[in-house]
Amino acid sequence: MSDVVLKVEDLETGYGEVQILWGVSLEAKKGKLTTIIGSNGSGKTTLLRAITGVVPVWKGRVLFKGEDITHLPAHRRADMGLVMVPEGRMLFPEMTVYENLEMGAYTKRARAKLKESLDFVLNLFPRLKERLNQKAGTMSGGEQQMVALGRGLMACPELLILDEPSLGLAPKLVLDVFSVIKKLKDEGITMLLVEQNVHISLMITDWAYVMAEGRIVMEGSGEELEKSEEVKKAYLGV
């Protein structure tokens, strides 16, 4: 039990009358990188919304650090260390880079470590150092992704959820993002990654789930899944 940070049990949810998730179960273990892959419309984003609390759960449970958080409001989940780096980055565009990072450390437990976290983030992204007073909305996509990742790290996450961090980035920047994820993994940060870049994701992940039509259809280590004929056919285009 103790090494499972996030446990999702038979989760069902959707929007209005439309059911999207049909009983999803998964686990994210402490210090490990867990990845969810799946094509567009497979329910990955909805799953993350249910886990972070911005979409209500119909059935099933979400357990975080052993506590049932299924019906906790989103901000309370962030308080507990469940931190989301959302798709499309969602920075505060009129705030400076520094203020964005500061907002990352908004919760009480993160505020106490603000200085340390800032050093850690600026070490990871030295380029942000000279950009601290620039408005986040005026930066390029790659730089914004750094700020988004940095903002997530400022929260002292017990689980860092990364929703499509490489989406819309140039190939060179995609590699940068993945090398950062690799670094964070080596630092021992527990992560849940949702990605469309199946090949690279499977290369660095400890454990992966494949989603299709609102269900988990397959799971295994990165290596196993990469060898699997079905995954190859469906996602790697081989």
Partner 1 sequence: MEAWISAVLSGILLGLAYGLAAIGLNLIWGVMNVINLSHGAFIALGMFASYFIFKFAGISPFISVFLVLAVGVVLGMIAYFLALHRVILAPELSTLLATYSLSLIIIGLGTFFFTTNPRAIDVGLGSVKVFGAYIPKEKILVGIYSLIFTLLLYLFLYKTWTGKAIRAVSMNITAAKFMGVNTTFILSLAFGIGIALAMVAGALIASVFPFTILTGGVYELKSFVICVLGGLGSPLGALVGGLIMGLLENVLTLKIQVGYVPFLEFLILVIILLVKPTGIMGKE
Shortest Cβ 113–partner 1 spacing (Å): 14
Shortest Cβ 179–partner 1 spacing (Å): 24
Q: Does 95 bind partner 1 (CB under 8 A)?
A: yes
- Please identify, using beta-carbon distances, which residue of 11 and 101 lies nearer to partner 1: 101
The closest of 80, 83, 114 to 99, measured between CA atoms, is: 114
Q: Does 54 bind partner 1 (CB under 8 A)?
A: yes
Both tokens of residue 8? 């999702």
The closest of 5, 2, 3, 59 to 192, measured between CA atoms, is: 5
Cα 93 vs. chain centroid, distance in angstroms? 21
Please, what sign has the CA dihedral across residues 110, 111, 113, 117? Answer: positive
Q: Does 86 bind partner 1 (CB under 8 A)?
A: yes
Shortest Cβ 143–partner 1 spacing (Å): 17
Shortest Cβ 86–partner 1 spacing (Å): 6
Q: Does 71 bind partner 1 (CB under 8 A)?
A: no
Residues between 146 and 165 that touch partner 1 (CB under 8 A):
151, 155
Both tokens of residue 27? 């686990």
* Placement of tokens 């199946």 in the chain: 198
Cα distance from N-terminal residue to C-terminal residue, the chain = 38
- Please identify, using beta-carbon distances, which residue of 163 and 195 lies nearer to partner 1: 163
Q: Does 94 bind partner 1 (CB under 8 A)?
A: yes
